[in-house]
Amino acid sequence: MSGEIAGGCLCGAVRYVASGPVVNARVCHCHLCQRAIGAAFNARLLFRRADVEISGPVAEHASSEAIQRGFCPRCGTTIYSHRVAAGMIGLTSGSLDNPAQFVPEAHIFVESKQPWVVLDPVIPAYPGAAPA
């Protein structure tokens, strides 16, 4: 998937446009993502950070040494997870203007998934991180 992908927060204060190719589209079931997103998983599109332009006020929280989570300070919408050292940013599928643009390629960290989540057997699923 490539082309322009746009989205933003619930109140409209934060907007973004991603104009590069999608690196991958994954659903993460790790406990850290569950807590950060406030849901059973984090469905996200990964881009090179240089390919995403973000406007508006964004607050960040370091959810780990490697990841900065960005959210709207007005409405609280989680917008991204940013791996600063890798130069990658994962845009949350729920913040897309057209969420149907998100088509998962894989489920990761399924060893931590909630027991009531049923996975599509056609989509690859990995107990931890996806193979490199």
The string of pLDDT tens digits covering residues 50-84 is 999 999 999 999 999 999 999 999 999 999 999 99
Residue 132 has what pLDDT?
80
Cα–Cα dist 99/103, whole Å: 9
Spatial CB neighbours of 4, under 8 Å, sequence gap ≥ 6: 17, 18, 19
In the structure encoding, which two tokens stand for residue 8, read together? Answer: 């933003």
pLDDT beyond 60 at 86: yes
The string of pLDDT tens digits covering residues 90-129 is 999 999 999 999 999 999 999 999 999 999 999 999 999 9
Spatial CB neighbours of 26, under 8 Å, sequence gap ≥ 6: 43, 44, 46, 104, 105, 106, 107, 108, 130
The string of pLDDT tens digits covering residues 1-55 is 556 899 999 999 999 999 999 999 999 999 999 999 999 999 999 999 999 999 9
- Which domains does the chain possess? 5-112 (2.170.150.70)
Number of CB atoms found within 10 A of residue 114's CB: 10
